[in-house]
């Protein structure tokens, strides 16, 4: 059934392999003839719901900004010595630095994120939103000196 539908679809539309660009006119297998990647016919939303992804990106941008500054200062050797810090200062610094690679992964993974189901998307976004909320509360607390 799936093979027949895939063959019918590729036979009437000028679709190419998403990986290598090979024309798939009426494929006879469930894999690309050139790159041998498995093919499947799916149904998806015309416009992916990116609300959770946008919430994730926004919540990671906030700490990633100071995180980039911390990393640049560290690379240039200009980061002031950090003595014994309390747990809130440590959390803010560590979360800022961790937010930089997390933001890159989230930005580069937009397509994969859009293919996840709604619950999984929010399971990824909500912890970042809470972590950033805690970051904001601790950053605004007196004594941190931003
Ligand atoms: Zn291919």
**Could you read off the pLDDT of 62-100 as tens digits, one per residue?**
999 999 999 999 999 888 777 777 888 888 889 999 999
- Give 16's strand partners: 23
Q: How far apart are the first and last CA of the chain?
A: 62
Ligand 1 centroid, distance to 113 Cα (angstroms): 22
Whose CA is closest to 98, among 135, 139, 144?
135
Ligand 1 centroid, distance to 34 Cα (angstroms): 5
Environment of ion ligand 1 (residues, CB < 5 A): 17, 19-20, 22, 32, 34-35
- Give 27's strand partners: none
**Would you say the pTM of this structure is higher than 0.75?**
no
The per-residue pLDDT for 144 is 58
Residues of the chain predicted below pLDDT 70: 143-146
Residue 38's φ and ψ, nearest 5 degrees, are -60, 145
3 state SS of 75: helix
Total residue count of the chain as it appears in this document: 146
């Amino acid at each position: 059934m799936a093979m027949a539908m895939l063959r019918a679809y590729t036979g009437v539309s000028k679709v190419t392999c998403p990986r290598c660009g090979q024309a798939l006119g009426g494929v006879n297998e469930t894999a690309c003839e050139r790159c041998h990647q498995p093919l499947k016919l799916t149904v998806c939303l015309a416009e992916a719901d990116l609300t959770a992804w946008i919430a994730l990106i926004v919540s990671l941008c906030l700490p990633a900004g100071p995180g980039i500054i911390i990393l640049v200062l560290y690379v240039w050797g200009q980061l002031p010595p950090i003595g014994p810090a309390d747990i809130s200062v440590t959390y803010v610094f560590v979360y800022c630095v961790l937010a930089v690679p997390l933001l890159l992964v989230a930005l580069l993974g937009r397509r994969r994120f859009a293919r996840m189901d709604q619950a999984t998307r929010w399971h990824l976004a909500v912890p970042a939103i809470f972590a950033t909320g805690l970051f904001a509360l601790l950053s605004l607390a007196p004594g941190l000196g931003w």
